Amino acid sequence: MKTALKRCGFFLDLIMDKIGICGAGLIGASWAIGFANAGFKSFVYDNTEDSFTKFEDLANKLIQDLRIINPEIDEEKINSNIKLNCTIEEICNDSILVQESVLEDLELKKSVFAQLDKLTQENTIIASSSSYLLISEIAELVKHKHRCINGHPALPPHIVPFVEVSGNEKTSQKIIREAVSIYKKAKYAAITVNKEAEGFVLNRLQGALLNEAVRLHEGGFASMEDIDIALKHALGIRWAFMGPFEIMDLNAPDGIKDSFTRYRNGIQNLAREQNSVPEYSEEYLNKLEIDQRKRLPYDQRDNRVEKRNKMIALIRKLKLELGEDI
């Protein structure tokens, strides 16, 4: 049953649990729910028309996904911990962290960060949710650069509880440690990216895979469907529970060194072949779109997204039962 979310009000006695969310789209809503579910107070700001009406509809769908993982989830608690219709000043005032979740546009993010820097207290952490943009670029107009980080989530973030934290040469290491601690308290698997790099860790790994998938498809080695099958029915099943180094450790009798020693020549040969960059030409992308719409008509995509979220939630539930979750 749909529960109305409370409108904005201050919780002066819970300042250390206050999180500001700047942007009420999918990413912002996911952050708000994730923090609220962990007991934080999520104060949400957005300046786009009808954003909070859409937020409430979206939030209720996201909470139902979480119910698959934990049937006893306290929906009333989550809703009571989310404060909507806040002004930008309200999300900034006394928050321990403000999570920027606006569109992936550098100039827009720079402008938002400059505004957040002026409105927040000096010890408030300002975090971007950018997928590729560097925090050194986003924080270019910011005076207090030492407290600016990127906290990049995975998609869909409400059921994939992961965040990678990165700074730049001017970011305080104490701020990075505090940010990681906050995300972990919110029950996210938080990692630290030690050097600023475009794409961070997650998208660099994902980008390498996508580039190779395109090379294989464009080169005529395999169809889109077969490449997807190879991932979702082979590698993806293992990757849901283990990372690449863990997998290599178990792939040979004597562990990770034995495994790399056995397979390094083949792995290196592949790397030499993979040094070209796909063009992603308009012609090729149009062909991809036509072929994919034959596999999944556009009007069926929402149903596929719902099924994807359900399957991810069921995997999370299984990992929890096996003691493999966060």
Q: For residues 292 and 221, what is the distance between their CA atoms, to the nearest angstrom?
A: 17
Q: Tokens in use for 261? A: 């020693």
The verdict on pTM exceeding 0.85 is: yes
Which residues contact residue 261 at a Cβ distance below 8 angstroms, ignoring those fewer than 6 apart?
Answer: 252
- CA-closest candidate to residue 191, choices 324, 32, 326: 326
Contact yes or no for 142/113 (Cβ under 8 A): yes
- Record the tokens describing residue 300, joined without a space: 């069926």
| CA distance between the termini of the chain | 29
- Number of neighbours of residue 222 by Cβ within 10 angstroms: 14
Structural domains for the chain: 12-193 (3.40.50.720), 202-295 (1.10.1040.10)
Tokens of 295: 């596999």
pLDDT value of residue 15: 58
Mean pLDDT by 10 residues, the chain (326 residues): 45 66 96 96 93 90 94 94 96 96 97 98 95 96 97 93 95 96 96 95 96 96 97 95 96 97 97 92 97 97 95 95 89
* Residue 99 β-bridge partners: 21, 127
Q: Is 170 helix (H, G, I), strand (E, B) or coil?
A: coil
- Residue 291 CA to residue 285 CA, distance in Å, equals 10
